Amino acid sequence: KRQAMDIPAADVPYSRIGNIAMAGDKLNFTELECMIIVDENLNAYKEMFDWLQRIVQTNEASGLDRSRNNDTTAPTVADITVAILSSHNNTTRTIRYIDCIPTTIGSLPMESTTGDTTIIALPVSFRFSYFELN
């Protein structure tokens, strides 16, 4: 849904005038905030919940380590690819977020409505190492 980045300026002292802002040398990313569609079986919610539990309850495994098969040693990081679609639902670009870790699962709306079908979306935030724009 959204993600930002910045380069913090470095203040350099200059004579008696004060500080001059110089371009920083480090790129910082904010958390990636997504809205994930949840089906009637809560599969997306369960997957996010299990991922968070796996992070807390197990030793970290590399995202590249595919030699382990059971869920207790599954990788704690994963790559996420977001497809940018045109008005005709064709992929125009993709953004690949590398080494993602979920940090927040938002609340799941618990309300009953009649009539119109509504889409239930779950807010989830991720931290990541970097991203690639293709």
Q: Where are the alpha helices (DSSP H) in the chain?
A: 43-57
Residue 23 has pLDDT above 80, yes or no: no
What is the mean predicted confidence (pLDDT) over 20-46? 85
| Residue 103 identity (one-letter amino acid) | T
* Residue (of 93, 76, 77, 75) closest to 85 by Cα position: 93
Across 77-92, average pLDDT: 91
pLDDT at 97 over 70: yes
Q: Measure the CA–CA gap between 103 and 128, rounded to whole angstroms.
A: 10
Lowest-confidence segment of 60-74, 86-100, 120-134 by average pLDDT: 60-74
Distance, CA of 1 to CA of 37 (rounded, Å): 12
Q: How far apart are CA 61 and CA 53, in angstroms?
A: 14
Using a cut of 0.75, tell me whether the model's pTM lies above it: no
DSSP 35-58: EEE--TT-HHHHHHHHHHHHHHHS
Q: For 40-104, where are the alpha helices, taking DSSP H only?
A: 43-57
**72 has pLDDT over 60:** no
Q: Give the Cα separation of 59 and 63 in Å (integer).
A: 12
The two tokens of residue 25 are 């040398």
Specify which residues 75 forms β-bridges with: none
Q: Using alpha carbons only, give the angle 75, 28, 106 rounded to the nearest 5 degrees.
A: 55
